[in-house]
Chains A and B, each alone.
Chain A
Amino acid sequence: GAGVSQSPRYKVAKRGQDVALRCDPISGHVSLFWYQQALGQGPEFLTYFQNEAQLDKSGLPSDRFFAERPEGSVSTLKIQRTQQEDSAVYLCASKSGSGTDTQYFGPGTRLTVL
Chain B
Amino acid sequence: KQEVTQIPAALSVPEGENLVLNCSFTDSAIYNLQWFRQDPGKGLTSLLLIQSSQREQTSGRLNASLDKSSGRSTLYIAASQPGDSATYLCAVRRGQGGSEKLVFGKGTKLTVNP
Contact = CB atoms under 8 A, between A and B. Distances in A.
A70 to B, nearest CB: 20
B110 to A, nearest CB: 15
A64 to B, nearest CB: 20
Contacts of A4: 43
Contacts of B100: 31, 33, 48, 56, 95
A38 B99 CA distance: 22
A56 B103 CA distance: 14
A103 interface: yes
Given A42-B4, A42-B104, A105 B99 contact: no
A72 to B, nearest CB: 16
B4 A102 contact: no
Contacts of B101: 33, 45, 48, 56, 59
A58 B106 CA distance: 20
Interface stretch (B12-20, B44-52, B62-70, B71-79): B44-52
17 contacts: A33-B102, A35-B102, A42-B4, A42-B106, A43-B104, A48-B101, A56-B99, A59-B101, A91-B43, A101-B31, A101-B51, A103-B46, A103-B102, A104-B46, A105-B36, A107-B41, A108-B42
